[in-house]
Structures are given as C-alpha cells and as structure tokens.
Structure 1
Amino acid sequence: MPLDATALGNALNEPLTLHSTLCRRDAGAYQQAIQSGDDVVVACTQEKRLFAELGAATEGAVSPIRFVNIRETGGWSRDASQATPKIAALLAAARLPEPEPVSTVTYKSAGRLLIIGPMDQAERAADMVSDVLNVTIFTQGPGLTGASQERRYPVLGGTVTSLTGWLGAFELTWARDNPIDLDLCTRCNACLTVCPDGAIGLDYQVDMARWATLDRNVQQACVNACTVAGAIDFNRPVVTDAEPFDLVLDLRAEPAFAQHAPPQGYFRWDGVSLPTLLKLRDMVGEFDKPKFFDYKQSLCAHSRNEVVGCDACIRICSALAISSDKHRQRIEVNPNLCVGCGACTTACPTGALTYATPRASEQGLNFRTLLSTYTKAGGKDAVLLLHSQEAGRELVDKLGRAAQLKQAHGVPAHVIPAGLWHTASTGIDLWLSAIAFGATQVAVLTTHEEAPQYLDGLQAQMDIAQAILTGLGYAGTHLRLIRADTPAVLDAALQSVAAQRAATPRQPARFAVAKEKRSTLDMAIDHLIQQAPAPEALPEAIALPAGIPGAGSPFGTLNVNKDACTLCLSCVNACPASALGDNAERPQLRFVEKNCVQCGLCATTCPEDAITLVPRLLLTPERKASRVLNEVQPYQCIRCSKPFGTVKAIEAMLGKLSGHAMFQGAALERLKMCGDCRVVDLYTAQNESKITEL
C-alpha cells in the first residue's frame, strides 16, 4: 500500500512510524507498543487472531488494542495514491473511545434440541449433534427411507399447533391425534406388514386420509397385529400437550416462523450444509447480547385514549419483536426477539425508541471525526458509505481484493466506509448531521441481509432528507441507497456515486449529536439553513413526501376545517408531543409546528374529522412559535353570563338534543347554562315543585 507517514502524522497531530510486516518480522515493535500503556491501533484486520494471540503471550501487555482495515477500504484501490486523507480519517475514528457499555439480555440453553421434519433427515441431523445436544424428534413423515430400526431418540408425533419462544425458551404445543402411540411402539413393523396401500409409514404414523378409504375389517388389521405392544388405538381421545426446548432445527418446507428475522436459537437446515449443525453444537451455555434499544414512553406517539396513531416501529420490525399495548398507551418490545437491526429507532419520529449500541451521540462523533479529519488531511467531496458489520463489510473487503487483483476499480479515494451493526440503525437525523459535517453524499449499502420493509423505510427517509436539502438550495443528490451482493455490482455503484457531486454547507458544522433525535434534527436543519448556498432565496416552507408507512413525515403542519371544528379540544388531549394546546383565557386551538411529529393521533381522535396532516418543513421563525389554528366565539351562560363553552359546540349540542324527550322546556334551557347555574336552577325548580305540592 502507498502510505505517507508524514501526511498521516500531520492529519493525526503526531508523528507516525510505519511497520510493513508487523505481524511477522516486526512483531517486536507491536509487543513494545502494547507494553507502553498507550492506546494501540492496528491498521490490519487480516491477522487479528494472530495479534490477539501475540498480545496474550506478551508479558506486561496492558494497552487497549483496536483494529481498523485501511487496506481493502483504501490501500487496495486504483485510487490508493490519493487515499491518504481517507486513511487518516479511518485511523482517527479507530482511536475514539469505546462506546459506553449497555445493559445485556441473557439466554440460557441446556442443549434441549427439537428437530421437526421427516424421520430419515431428522435422525441424520441428530446423529451429528447428539453427542453435545439432547435431541427430541417430532416426526413429519418418514422421508425417503423412514426411521431406522434402532430407536435412538425420543420421537413425538401428531399435529403441531404452535411453536413459540426463543433461544432457551421455546415451547412446542401439539395434539396427540395419531392412533399410534410412539412411546409404546416397538418398531416391530407388524402393522406395516398387514396395512395395505401404505396407510402407515416408516415414521410409524397413520395417514388418516388413506386409512379412511379402507374396508372396516382391513382398518382393524393393524390393531390386531399390535396386540402385544398395544400401541395402536383409533378410539384414543386427542390430548393437547406442550414441552419446552432450548433450540429448534426445522427441516420442513414451510418454516415455523415466517418473519425475515426468526428467533435466535431457531435454525433451518437443507440437509446438506454443515455450518448450521456446527452452530447448533455451540449453542449450549449462557449467552449475552446487548439490549439494543432504549424506550421512553413519555415521547411515544403510538396511542392515546386507546386510539392508535403512529405504529411505524411495529410495521417495520422484521423480528415481530414489537407489539401494541394501546390500553397502556405504549408499545412493547421483546428484548429476546430483538435482533438489533435498529429499524424501529430509524422509523420512530419522536425518538421514543433510540439505538443503544452505539448510541446516536457516539455514532455522530464517529461521523464528525471521519469527516473533519478527512478535510483536514486535504480530502474533498467526501462520501460516507454506511455498511453492515457482516455482509456489508465482507462485500467491501471482497471489492478491495478484486481491485488488488486488477479485477475492479475498488473503493474510490473519497468514499469513506463506516461500519454499522446494521444499516437500518441510522436515519434522517444522522444523515443530515453528516451532510452538515461536510459530507457531499451519504450512501447506504444494503445486501441480502435487509428485510424488504427496511429498504422501503430507508428509501422513504432518504426521500424526506433529500427533499429538505433540495428545498434549501443544495444542488445534487445527497442520499443514495445502494443494493449489491457482488463486488462487481458494488464497484459499478461506487463509481457512479464517485462521479456525482453535490453541494455542501459553506462551513461544516461542529455540533455534537444529541441523544434526543429531535434535538439533533433541529441542530442539523438549523445549520443547513444558516449555511445554505443562497440563504436570501430560501422558501417559506418545503413540501415533504408522505414518509414512512405508519408514521408519515417527521415534520408538518395541520389544516383545520374551521366550519367543522367545534373546539372540543380532543386533539389537544391526544397530542403526545405538546404540539397542540389551548388557551385558558379564550376558546382557541394553538399549535407549535416544531413539535409536531405528524403521528396523526389528532386527526384520528377528532370527532368531526376536521383535521388534515400536511407534511412540510417551515423555515420561518413561526415554526418555533405558538400560533392559533382556530378560534371561536365563547358561549355565555344565559343566567350568569360566564363563558363556559363555544357557540358552535353548544349550538351543535342543542340541535342534536332538542328533539329528545328528556330535553324539553326547562331541561333544554339548562343546557345553555354553566355547570354552577345548572345545579342552582335544578335545585330551585325542585324546591318550587315541593312548595306547590304543599
């Protein structure tokens, strides 16, 4: 790799010494470094295992060690001679403090494995894992050859009614609806010998559809043949049973879990692939994973008064880990099912759900460090390429190797790869922050890992962010969704990205990304407004796309039909973001547009259907101020003249109740009084009635 130690040292504010074969000939330099106590960054990931072993064998090694790949991402490219600014940026980001630890979710597996499928395949799989796992088979037909004569594993039969749970906590429920009791069956094959038409298979279960077509005497032949064992009884009552398991291996054509991200501990097997069985063998013990999300109910726009508004997180979750609890006005996230994709936090308009590892503030610091170091080192037109830590990183590495072999161009010099746990974990707040920090483009690399709804959600967010940037006068395309599964496709996509240019702020931002999503959005948008190419020509408002299904645009206003609105203020009570309010002095509906998250609870709650959502970004100071959406004449009590409602609301009530038998004469007149006068009038009328009777 062409590395310039002087230029890199200047960008990092310290002198650098380069070691070309640190893992072999210069290993002593590495050992001295990890004995120094200073942070050590190893700019190679190929020999990560070797470095770890060498560190463990080095006496007095105390330095924290971090790894970063500058080879496939920069040094192995046709642009390698121009990649010094990018390499400096990658080295600077690698030196950032480790993210703060987060709480964990613990799984405990004792190795109880359930295999569901044809007997021959199930037994073959069981033979390869039974030395470390406690196997039970649920038969789903004999397969091509059926069960072996030797009964080596417990076998269950019948009809599966449900399979729920996760690693260490699966529960199988099934109906024992087959005439053959597999616990009593000795596999003597006597029933198969006398049964015509193959109604009993080599899984020792009866095909009831075939059996029903047989002559009555023939139907009893298998029962008579099984007299000694007594395993066959067509009159046995159906019993529902349940049993817990730690792991599930599913061999059926139709999986038990249809979602894109099945529960951890659930595996599918094609009957050939060995890696699946190797993973199963390692799934015994106690396992921890990060709790990937934080949830603040006070910010959640999901429901109010059992009316559902925003449900974007529920719709986008590929693991079915999020459910609605509208009675408690919240959502529920099952941490055991959560796979940490972060799509829910990206879709959440309020920041009620936030990504915890790394936090938005930590990810923002990483982006700012990458972009500021790149610029300081002389780099221009930075493109931030966000990719996943697994398939995405592997694809970038393959592209680098292809470039080294002269089979591809490689990662362009101004494209800076940044790894994420999952590509769906960042959204409009961090993307706009990256543009504010000086990136010309943010590209998100997606592979086969991403669920279809993730792609739709990411694209919807990109459409909103791009509409904001275009509306502010920033020319070009700043957000791109790259879909690739091969180095060739990725190479072509990156060359296309590299050929484009997009406008950036006149001065890069230096703000720190906040933990709160809306705060970060406000800072990013404020900076983009202040540093717009032509601030004097900014429009009053920018129209925005509809946004993510279930949530809509994160910004917007409300149109109120003043002829229909009675100012009942149901919408004020429903608003979770304090965007709507009333006036204690006058019948008014007031609105702060900056707070509105377009969740739709106000429109759904309104009994008059008088509210319409309008996605937009208002650029004037009015966005942060309280303004009146509707105001009506107060209705004054006919007895004391105190205002107690609105003219429109009281007149509407009178019109609806005037024909009712209970609201005639004086009763109807009392509806025109305030609460106090209504009680006094009713009490006076009752006393007058008693005096008249006397």
Structure 2
Amino acid sequence: MTTTLICDCNQTMPLEPKTLGAALTESLPLHSALCRREAPSFQRAIQSGDDVVVACTQEKRLFGELAQQTPGATSPIRFVNIRETGGWSRDAKSAMPKIAALLAAAGLPEPEPVSTVGYASQGRVLIVGPLDEAEQAAALVADALAVTIFSRGPGIAGGEQERRWPVVAGRIDALTGWLGAFKLQWTRDNPIDLDLCTRCNACVSACPEQAIGLDYQIDAAKCTSHRDCERACTVAGAIRFDRTPESQGGAFDLVLDLGATPLIDWHAPPQGYFHLPGGLSNPKGAQTLLHLRDLVGEFEKPKFFDYKQKLCAHSRNEVVGCNACIEVCSAHAVSSDKERQRIVVNPNLCVGCGACTTVCPTGALGYTYPRTPDQGRKLRTLLSTYADAGGRDAALLLHSEEGGRALVEQLGRQAQLGKAQGVPANVIPVALFHAASTGIDLWLSAVAFGAQQVCVLLTGEEAPQYVEALKKQADIAQALLHGLGYTGTHFRLIEAATSGALDKALANLRETRQVVPARAARFAVGAEKRSTLELALDHLMDESPASKTPADAPLAIPLPAGAPFGAIAVDKDKCTLCLACVSACPASALQDNRDSPQLQFIEKNCVQCGLCETTCPEDAIDLVPRLLASPERRQPAVLNEARPWACIRCAKPFGTQKAIEAMLLKLAGHAMFQGDALERLKMCSDCRVVDLYSAQDETKITQQ
C-alpha cells in the first residue's frame, strides 16, 4: 500500500484532493504546510511501514532529517515535484490529470539495483600547466593530495623558487585512463634536467636570447646554441645539450589540466580529469579544486549498459557492418575488437548518456539506468493515469536529471512570479539520467500508450553527435507514423538553454494537434528492443487510419537512411547464390533453403546493418530502408533462386549452375586449373577426391 502526501505549498497551488484521490484510488487530505506545522502528518505516515510518496522536492532534505529523528519510522520515502511541473503554471487549475499521473508514477516500485563500476584513488594528482599557475593550484590541494607538476610554460618573475613538489617537463606523448588509473607518457627532450636544477637562475641570467624562462626549460626556437647557460651550470651539471631524449612514464589518480588547449579534448572527458584553463582566475577554479580534494578513496557509479554479442551487427567474417555506437559515443568508451568480431565498451569511461543504446538497431546494447522495462512501465503509468483522470492531448517532455530538471524548475518559479506561462497542463515532464538515453522503441511505445507528442529537451549540454542522432531517430519515428496515416508532428527536439526559450517552445505545442491511435495500448515494454518495437508497431498498424488500396496490397513505407527496418534489393543478374550474405547476417533475416538453391528473406528480422551489402562479392545487394506494414513482413520471401549444378561424374546436385559457370570462367586461364584440374571443378566434393586418387593410380601404373 502507498500513502501519498500532497501539499499546496502555502496555498500557492489550486489542488483538488478529491480529483487526485479518485485517480489514485486513495484518500488524499490536503496540506498547506506539510514541512512546517503539519509535519506530524508526515511522521505518522512514515511510522506505518507503508510506502510514502511526498509531493514536494523543495524540502526533501528537511523531510529526510525529520525521518531520521522520528521513532519507529520504517516506511520507504519517495519524492515527486508537482509544484514547478504543474501547480505553478498559468493553467494550473487544469493540471489535475497531470499531477495525478506524476503521483502515480512516483508510487511505482523502485527499479532493481544495477551493477556498479568501482574506482580507487590514492590522491596522486598531476597538475599540468604554466609553472606559476600549477604551483598556486598545488598550494591549495597539497594538504589533501600528493602533487606532481608537469611544467608547460614559464613562471612569473619573482615566483616560487622553493621546490615543494616534484616538477617534470618535456613533450607529452599521451595521456590515457580514468579516475585512479591515469597513465602519462612523455619524452624528456630538453637540455635542462629538472631533477638536477637548483633554480639558482644562473642560466636565466646568462642566456643573451632570453631563451630560458622560469619554467627552467630552453626554448629551442630562441636558442642559438651559444652554450653560455651550460657553462653557467657547470657545478650543478643540470644543462647538457648532448643529452639523448628519454621516454618517461607515470601513473596518477587525478589530472588537473591548466593548459589553454586540453590534453583530452572530448565532450565527455574521463572521470578524474579536469580542464581548468587560467588556473585560479577561471570562474570555476575554486569549485574544481574543492571537488578535486574530495576524490580520495573508493567510489562507485552505475554500470549503465548491457551488451549481448549474439545480437550485435558490428562485424561478421572480418567485415565491419554497423558502427553506430562507436560513432556516437562522446566519451570514447566504445571501440571495435576486430579479433573477437565485436564491440567493447569500457565501463570506466562510460558516462551513462545512453546514446549508444539509442542508435543500436538490434538492441545488442541495452540501457540499464533504469532498464527499458522500468522506463516503459513508468511511461505507461503516466499516460494511462493521465487519461483515466480526464486528461487530453498528453505530451511527454523528456529531460535530463541535471540541466533539464533545473530548467523545468526554473520555468515553474518564473510562472509563479507571473513572468512566464509555465509548463502547460498537458505536458508531463519525465526525468532521464541523460536526454539521449531513449529512442524509437520507447517513443513509439509512448504514442501507442496515448501520448500525442514526445518531446526531448536539449539544454546545450549534449554532445553534437547526440543531437544529430536524436534528430535521425525522430525523423525515422515520424516517417513511420506518417506512413501509417498518423498526421501531425509527434516527435520534437526542443533546444532551449533558458527558461524563456523553454516557455516559448512549450507554448507553441498548444497550437498543434496530432492524430494518434484511438485505443491506447496496454502491452508491457520488454527487455529486447526489437520485441518492444514489434509490439508498438503491431498496435500502431492495427489502429492505423491509413487505408490500403487495393485491400490486399502490402503497404511499404519509405524510411530515411539508417532506419533499423527495411528490405534488401538483390540484382539477380549479378547474384551467384554463393550465400555469403546468409552467413554474414546477424539477425537471421537472410536464410538459405536446404532443399534447393534459394536466397530467402524475412523482412521483420532485418536491421539494415549493411553486412550483407558489404560482404557480397558480386556487389549484388542494396539496402532499402522501409517498413512493410503487412503480415508479409513476417513471412520468408524468395529473393533469388537458381537451377542446381549436377556433378559431371555422379549427377548429384551441388552449388548452382550460375556460380559454377562463373567460377569456371574466372579460373579457366589460371595455370593451376588446366585440363583435368578444371574438369574436377565440375564435380562434387566426393567425386573430386575419387577422381584425383584415380588419376594418381593411373600415373603410377604408367610409370611402372
């Protein structure tokens, strides 16, 4: 049983407890100061042992502290925001169906815990940058971290001379790794050895070209090799121009990069790497250094993905097909393992954006935070509760947990102050860990469940390739619905970096109306992406307003390139039925026939990975992205067939006439296939062996 506590926040929200209670089938007394004088109601609820949903996130911390102080408090507590998302808007009085939906979704069981990825940091930090800036940063973290400085530029005159931390310099060759496991490779190629240098500044004074700065490294572009510095350093012996460049390496737990150009120029850099150009003068300087100090110990994060190699369409028979996950990953966490014919995801580099799972056509990569069935259950609950409470024209607003949620809440506060319209009554915000973590399987399911629109909020924090991938997904999903006769724009990407831009975009949603299925689906979203897509498509096709003319004609819907559905076109004049494409197909869309030379195709299984097209030695296959909206898509179709070739010795059929003739034509001029050798190519494998041994026996008899 679930107990739901609602509060109109000092009567700033026009809540209707009876309407909400009817939708949730429970009595909902209305509070106005649940976090203050009515707090005993919360305490009594959490002593019941039942699940408790508190419709307030503003005072989440206060409620948590109160729960710890309440004797006998055993109830699990979940929080949901109904204030900024619905109660604080210009049409808040019409938002009861949405608020009921948000409360119902908050009452769902918590998803099962996911596997975790561990990090261990001993606090060894590498600070890279100009020596003076690096030393200033080092002074603020050295009491908590073990500092090593990699000097990449001169220090200021009058800067620190005391060597308080190890300082190295040279040419950086590579920086790889993540929190607790960074590896730096560099080449010590400067005449000045910093281990021997005492910072006496004799070389700085002696150099007439001022080629030596207070980083105590020689600028080769300025140096004219007069060697005055080397003579000035005779006692210490730190300067030698004949020193051979030496490769060096080091291991670190953290990296603070103060250079103007980052050493790791990724949109999503590894955990434990921080780029802070300008050092302490950077506006984020103090916050970054405070965070850096806390990164000592053991840490965990969710393992955001599952990988099923048997479903993967990346590679077969040393031929690469689908590369979608590798191309979209901004964290460089996905790579190709050519030897094992698979992709590899580094869980330590993965940041949980989910874009790889969104673009994966087969579902080989699945998102786990939360898993797809949990996300599907949430969307179905939101939409069914909204409809049961009398809501119409539901639009889902998918947004990220951080930037997106902050923008939605800011919009709600602006609406309360009369400076914005706020989130419309028919727009249901749905928080995701990352905006790129859902794709057409959940989007189409949402439309089948009753959503008129699915909008993805992009706040500018997303990598460019994520935005492009989401646009392609939206184009594919929209083409499917248009082909089935559902007019309007059902999928939108809302790019808004401010609450004002978001307010304007959401207001524009009111002006459009989309055709959706007359009957909402009730299927359960499964763990397999293709199965979920089939369930959604079946419902959308069953409810499709499009008519077929003539009645029994298949409805082929053209789709954009890259769609995970389609057919293949086979050039029968080129195809020799070698069936290389069958062995390459990862989805069993292409099949042979044991009884006769045939190439068969089941369109439902095709993921348009392109492995068949790339593998075909005759260049006889082309991809045709489309959706065949008819039962025929599940049935085997014959793409090509041929007469079998009969063995010239035993007449047993093997291969195809076209393939054998093509082989004979290609090998007729080869020195290894002349006379009897060419004739043996016309035999089955058994007869070929018999004929070869017979010829050898005849040769022996002749020689005797």
TM exceeding 0.5: yes
Structure 2 CA distance for aligned equivalents of residues 146 and 690 of structure 1: 97
Structure 2 CA distance for aligned equivalents of residues 534 and 664 of structure 1: 62
Q: Match for 1:510: what amino acid? A: R
The aligned residue for residue 253 of structure 1 is 260
The aligned residue for residue 25 of structure 2 is 13
User: C-alpha offsets along residues 24-45 of structure 1, whole Å, 9 cap, x if unaligned?
Assistant: 1111111111111111111111
Which of 54, 73, 79 is the equivalent residue of 2:85?
73
The aligned residue for residue 498 of structure 1 is 510
- Given that 2:190 and 2:218 are in contact with CA atoms closer than 8 Å, whether structure 1 keeps it comes out as yes
Note if 1:153 corresponds to 2:165: yes
Q: Match for 1:626: what amino acid? A: P
- Given that 1:399 and 1:488 are in contact with CA atoms closer than 8 Å, whether structure 2 keeps it comes out as yes
2:26 alignment partner, SS class: coil
Q: Match for 1:517: what amino acid? A: K
Structure 2 CA distance for aligned equivalents of residues 466 and 145 of structure 1: 63
Shift of 1:236: 2.1
Structure 2 CA distance for aligned equivalents of residues 229 and 664 of structure 1: 80
Note if 1:690 corresponds to 2:697: no
Note if 1:434 corresponds to 2:471: no
Shift of 1:164: 0.5
Structure 2 CA distance for aligned equivalents of residues 150 and 661 of structure 1: 79
More displaced, 393-402 or 266-275?
266-275
Note if 1:296 corresponds to 2:308: yes
Which of 645, 652, 668 is the equivalent residue of 2:678?
668
Q: Match for 1:264: what amino acid? A: Q
Shift of 1:441: 0.3
Note if 1:599 corresponds to 2:625: no
The aligned residue for residue 638 of structure 1 is 648
Shift of the 693–234 alpha-carbon distance from structure 1 to 2, 3 Å rule, reads closer
Structure 2 CA distance for aligned equivalents of residues 117 and 360 of structure 1: 44
User: C-alpha offsets along residues 49-71 of structure 1, whole Å, 9 cap, x if unaligned?
Assistant: 11111111222211111111111
Which of 533, 540, 543 is the equivalent residue of 2:557?
543
2:221 alignment partner, SS class: helix
Structure 1 CA distance for aligned equivalents of residues 155 and 473 of structure 2: 48
Note if 1:268 corresponds to 2:275: yes
The aligned residue for residue 393 of structure 1 is 405
Structure-to-structure mapping, 1:159-170, within 5 angstroms: 159-170=171-182
Note if 1:41 corresponds to 2:53: yes
Note if 1:557 corresponds to 2:567: yes
Shift of 1:144: 4.5
Please give the root-mean-square deviation of Cα atoms over the aligned residues, in Å: 1.3
Q: Match for 1:676: what amino acid? A: D
- Given that 1:355 and 1:425 are in contact with CA atoms closer than 8 Å, whether structure 2 keeps it comes out as yes
More displaced, 234-243 or 381-390?
234-243
Structure 1 CA distance for aligned equivalents of residues 158 and 54 of structure 2: 55
The aligned residue for residue 229 of structure 2 is 222
Structure 2 CA distance for aligned equivalents of residues 325 and 632 of structure 1: 37
Structure 2 CA distance for aligned equivalents of residues 614 and 145 of structure 1: 68
Shift of 1:151: 1.9
The aligned residue for residue 5 of structure 2 is none
Which of 586, 592, 597 is the equivalent residue of 1:582?
592
The aligned residue for residue 475 of structure 2 is 463
The aligned residue for residue 658 of structure 1 is 668
Q: Match for 1:540: what amino acid? A: P
Note if 1:480 corresponds to 2:480: no
- Given that 1:464 and 1:544 are in contact with CA atoms closer than 8 Å, whether structure 2 keeps it comes out as no
Structure-to-structure mapping, 1:55-454, within 5 angstroms: 55-145=67-157, 147-211=159-223, 213-214=224-225, 216=226, 219=227, 221-270=228-277, 271=279, 272=282, 273=284, 274-454=286-466
Which of 676, 679, 690 is the equivalent residue of 2:689?
679
Structure 2 CA distance for aligned equivalents of residues 625 and 414 of structure 1: 41
Gaps of at least 5 residues in structure 2 are 1-12
Structure 2 CA distance for aligned equivalents of residues 228 and 308 of structure 1: 61
The aligned residue for residue 631 of structure 2 is 621
Structure 1 CA distance for aligned equivalents of residues 591 and 159 of structure 2: 71
1:430 alignment partner, SS class: helix
- Given that 1:415 and 1:498 are in contact with CA atoms closer than 8 Å, whether structure 2 keeps it comes out as no
Runs of 4+ in 1 over 6 A off after TM superposition: none
Structure 2 CA distance for aligned equivalents of residues 194 and 114 of structure 1: 31
Shift of the 453–688 alpha-carbon distance from structure 1 to 2, 3 Å rule, reads same
User: C-alpha offsets along residues 170-226 of structure 1, whole Å, 9 cap, x if unaligned?
Assistant: 011111111222222221212112112211101111112211x25x3xx2x222222
Shift of 1:254: 1.1
2:274 alignment partner, SS class: strand
More displaced, 40-49 or 596-605?
40-49
More displaced, 382-391 or 113-122?
113-122
- Given that 1:123 and 1:147 are in contact with CA atoms closer than 8 Å, whether structure 2 keeps it comes out as no
Structure 2 CA distance for aligned equivalents of residues 665 and 202 of structure 1: 82
Structure 1 CA distance for aligned equivalents of residues 50 and 619 of structure 2: 65
Shift of the 560–649 alpha-carbon distance from structure 1 to 2, 3 Å rule, reads same
- Given that 1:371 and 1:382 are in contact with CA atoms closer than 8 Å, whether structure 2 keeps it comes out as yes
Structure 2 CA distance for aligned equivalents of residues 197 and 684 of structure 1: 89
State the TM-score, normalized to the length of structure 1: 0.97
The aligned residue for residue 31 of structure 1 is 43
Shift of 1:684: 2.3
Shift of 1:534: 4.2
Q: Match for 2:580: what amino acid? A: S
Q: Match for 2:648: what amino acid? A: I
Q: Match for 1:588: what amino acid? A: Q
Shift of 1:471: 0.7
- Give identity over the alignment, percent: 68
- Given that 2:57 and 2:79 are in contact with CA atoms closer than 8 Å, whether structure 1 keeps it comes out as yes
- Given that 2:557 and 2:629 are in contact with CA atoms closer than 8 Å, whether structure 1 keeps it comes out as no
- Given that 1:146 and 1:201 are in contact with CA atoms closer than 8 Å, whether structure 2 keeps it comes out as no
2:673 alignment partner, SS class: coil
More displaced, 178-187 or 657-666?
657-666
- Given that 1:191 and 1:223 are in contact with CA atoms closer than 8 Å, whether structure 2 keeps it comes out as yes
- Given that 2:559 and 2:627 are in contact with CA atoms closer than 8 Å, whether structure 1 keeps it comes out as no
State the TM-score, normalized to the length of structure 2: 0.96
- Given that 2:601 and 2:639 are in contact with CA atoms closer than 8 Å, whether structure 1 keeps it comes out as yes
- Given that 2:53 and 2:80 are in contact with CA atoms closer than 8 Å, whether structure 1 keeps it comes out as yes
Q: How many residues align?
A: 685
User: C-alpha offsets along residues 550-584 of structure 1, whole Å, 9 cap, x if unaligned?
Assistant: xx210000100000000000000100001111111
- Given that 1:146 and 1:203 are in contact with CA atoms closer than 8 Å, whether structure 2 keeps it comes out as no
1:114 alignment partner, SS class: strand
Structure 1 CA distance for aligned equivalents of residues 541 and 204 of structure 2: 80
Q: Match for 1:561: what amino acid? A: D
2:31 alignment partner, SS class: coil
Shift of 1:276: 1.3
